[in-house]
Amino acid sequence: MPVKRKTLEKGRKAKSLATKPLEGSAAFKEVDSASTGLDSKLLQDYVKEMRQVVRKGIISGCVSIAYHKDQVVLADAVGMADVERGTPFSFDTYCRMYCATKPFIAIAVFRFAEDGKLDLNDRLDKYIPEFGKVLVQPEGADAPVETKRPILLKHLLCHCSGIAYAPDVGETVEDESSRAYLQLQQDVQQKRIKTLAEFARGIARVPLSDHPGNSYWYGFSFDVLGRVLEVVGKKRLDKVLAETVFRPLGMKHTKWAVRRDELPKLAACYAHKPTWKKLYGHVKGRTPSAVRPSLVRIDGNKARDSHWLKGKECRVQSGGGFMGYLYGGLVSTVADTARFVRMLMHKGKLDDGRRFLSPSSVTALEKNRMKEGVDPVNYLGNIGTYRKNGTEYGMGGAACTYWSIDRADETATIWFTQHVDMPEVADMKGINTKKADLWDVLHRAVVKGSKSSNAHRSAKRARSE
């Protein structure tokens, strides 16, 4: 979920961004949620509250999809994808996925593993020789030393490789490894590094933050995995993903950049003013395009200025999805992401019954890979982070593109907006936070609906006795 930040609500009053509910597309034809055993009023209250969130200008708009027992029980779009252009948010709006790019890399790795092209226990240096000489400098160590064990592919999948990230914009550089990661990221942004191969070799020169397999370090591991896919597939990452993931799943609108004729469908990316200042404050003559202080465009003042426009995109195809807020990662739509989520819901089967992944592969992808006492993580993302004591797993990106699956509740969600500073629902001002949290609402709807169904069955049995 997004890092908690204080909402900026001061400033001139903007016009209401809320729109009338959009009817679901054919792919999202809602059923009566009560028919699947849910408490439908809770979902209705959620829809109303999201309009209040948009009216307040906390976000410009969003799309919410919820499944229960394989049925669409919620399909709602509200507000604007691009306020300045007056473009409504829809199921087909292009959104920057950022770190939500990672699960597609994991799926491609498992597809190759099923075909016998690689093994999760393979050493990384089998594919990228430079990692055979990687060093490690754990916290508190005076100098880098040799690693206790090699990096394996499975270490990359659960962020236990010891590879970390560059500091976030505005954060302090704390050590030499952080400085080196930041320099590599800047070299990508300034086009001094032009290929994933170059970037991966650069990562291999940076000392690891811990010995491989020891601990969790969120970082560039999936970018390195992307390079492994290129080596194994003997193609660029975009072609590997297209052939192994996107085409088989029918994800026609998931790509690294949009064409110029697709710009009207690309959402604007918003932030708060302090983030804009960190990104552009040093640029002489640059002024922000802002509807209000909480809705400031950061990916160019116009759609045509976007770094996700073909020809302007990040040259290094970032499997991790993040080369800073202005570079890296895929764009996708809610409609496309739903195809991916439904495949996982069906344990690797497509809607037409064809097998995409084996059930054992999906089980392996979903399994917690952390030791007891450590926050659970699987190869696809995080476990139990969307709600308190949650049983779901899923992934999200910096601009709040989320999906999740809860096997216990038999539910799944997809929730997209484009705002890198969106506060946690609990921190949103002027709304009923209990009604606005989709994951909590959906769980309560399942629990309440189940109790109601049980009470109804008990009453029916009593009448028949």
Is 278 within the bounds of a domain?
A: no
Same domain, 420 and 449: yes
Provide CB contacts within 8 A for 226, sequence distance 6+.
Answer: 105, 196, 237, 317, 318, 319, 320
pLDDT of residue 6: 28
Is 357 found in the same domain as 208?
yes
Q: Please name the residue that has the structure tokens 């509200």.
A: 78
Residues 447 and 310 in one domain: no
The predicted pLDDT at position 462 comes to 45
Low-confidence ranges of the chain (pLDDT < 70): 1-27, 451-465
- 63 falls within a domain: yes
Tell me, yes or no, whether 223 and 335 share the same domain.
yes
Task: Identify which of 65, 56, 118, 58 has the alpha carbon closest to the alpha carbon of residue 90.
Answer: 65
Do 79 and 96 fall within a single domain?
A: no
Q: Are residues 209 and 149 in the same domain?
A: yes
pLDDT score at 235: 98
For residue range 14-41, list pLDDT tens digits in order: 333 443 443 345 568 888 888 889 999 9
**Pairing label, strands 71-82, 61-68:** antiparallel
Tokens of 291: 């509807």
Confidence (pLDDT) at 454: 52
Same-domain status, 315 and 251: yes
Half-sphere exposure for 354 (CA within 13 Å, toward CB): 5
| Among 360, 376, 392, residue at a domain's last position | 376
Question: Which pLDDT does position 25 carry in this prediction?
Answer: 53
CA dihedral 47, 52, 54, 59 (to 10 degrees): -100
Does the residue 203 lie in any domain? yes
Amino acid making up residue 27: A
Assess whether 47 and 153 both reside in one domain.
no
First to last CA, the chain: 50
Q: How far apart are CA 59 and CA 79, in angstroms?
A: 8
**Which residues span the domain enclosing 236?**
91-266+306-376
Residue 324 within any structural domain of the chain: yes
In this structure, are residues 118 and 112 in contact, taking their beta carbons and an 8 Å threshold?
Answer: yes
Single out the residue in 376, 405, 430 at which a domain terminates. 376
Same domain, yes or no: 74 and 109: no
State how far the Cα of 95 lies from the Cα of 266, in Å rounded to an integer.
Answer: 6
User: Does residue 279 lie in a domain region?
Assistant: no
- Kindly report the CATH number assigned to the domain that includes residue 82: 3.30.450
pLDDT digits (tens, 9 = 90+) for 60-81: 999 999 999 999 999 999 999 9
Residue 158 lies in a domain: yes
The pLDDT of residue 140: 82
Contact 263, 306 (CB under 8 A): yes
CA angle 451, 457, 387 (to 5 degrees): 20
CATH of the domain at 226: 3.40.710.10
Are 85 and 96 in a shared domain?
no
C-alpha–C-alpha distance, residues 333 and 94, integer Å: 5
137 within 8 A of 100, measured Cβ to Cβ: no
Give the number of other Cβ atoms within 10 Å of residue 39's Cβ: 21
Distances (CA, A) of 218 to 165, 247, 365: 7, 29, 17
Which pTM was predicted? 0.91
Say yes or no: 108 and 238 in one domain: yes
Per the domain annotation, does 366 fall within a domain?
Answer: yes
CB atoms within 10 A of CB 351: 12
Both 320 and 453 in a single domain? Answer: no
Task: Answer yes or no: is 280 within a domain.
Answer: no
**C-alpha–C-alpha distance, residues 72 and 59, integer Å:** 24
Domain count, the chain: 2
Q: Among 324, 349, 376, which residue terminates a domain?
A: 376
